[in-house]
Amino acid sequence: MKIIHAKDYNDLSRKAANIISAQVILKPESVLGLATGSSPLGIYRQLIIWYEKGDLDFSATTAVNLDEYCNLPPDNPQSYHAFMRQNFFDHININPARVHIPNGMASDLETECRRYDQLIQSLGGIDLQLLGIGRNAHIGFNEPDSCFSKYTHKVALSESTIAANTRFFDREEDVPRQAISMGMQAITQARKILLIASGPDKADALYACCFGPVTPQVPASILQLHQDVTIIADEESLSSVPPMFLFLPPSEGAVVCVNAGTDQKVTEGMR
């Protein structure tokens, strides 16, 4: 697990966009696992700039998104379908047939979840998975639980997640209470994982993700068991990271290498 210190959100976004652009340049047919929310917006803006300059070509790239709200039509401005179109897909040359987002309007959500897992498997898995981290350390919409959810599944959103997402809606009661989320199997089988964190409200979650026990109560902690994880975080979100793990002063763009997970045990199984 490698933690890269970013000066601020703009620096974080550029560093993360660099990693994604390198993936697309080196393997144009990459399968990218993409995230929504406020955290990746700067990344998408930077990738669009490089695409418009002619530096990137997404025509052979496939995108699979982490999640979608239940019972929110794709044309609803707050749906993740609309979010991805408005903030990324409509501004690059990705083939719409290569864009995949869970269908939260499916009449049979269990069947939709199985379809999504089979889709990812048919694509050969994910080459690079972009993740944010919630205040309660959720990734995707994998909320704290008694065990890790292995497959794509319908999830009841926690109160903290609902509260965090209220800013995107007119009223808290408008925030959907359920969503479809990619499960831990597809996430952890990604060949590379890129997690981003920004702001003081992510500091405790980031510390628990990197340095706490591997437990489904801290969903992001499962990343300790992955062989290729890069975390890019700003100074505020790194405030809880022990100074002993910073090899260089933050002003020099410190890189922290954490060999976490070697002696950790998963406290509960994956269902």
Q: Which residues are catalytic?
A: 67, 136, 138, 143
10 Å CB burial of residue 90 (0-12, 13-18, 19+) is exposed
Q: Which pairs from 23-26 meet CB under 8 Å and 24+ separation?
A: 23/127, 23/128, 23/192, 24/56, 24/57, 24/58, 24/61, 25/56
Neighbours of 142 (CB within 10 A): 24
157 DSSP 8-state letter: P
CA 112 to chain centre: 20
Two structure tokens written together for 153 = 């599944």
Residues 6+ apart with CB under 8 A from 254: 4, 5, 246, 247, 248
Q: Which helix (H) or strand (E) holds 115?
A: helix 109-122
- Cα atoms in the Cβ-side hemisphere of radius 13 Å centred on 207: 14
Q: How far is CA 73 from the centre of its chain?
A: 22
Position of tokens 């269902």? 271
Q: What is the DSSP string of 54-97?
A: TS---TT-EEEESEEETT--TTSTTSHHHHHHHHTGGGS---GG
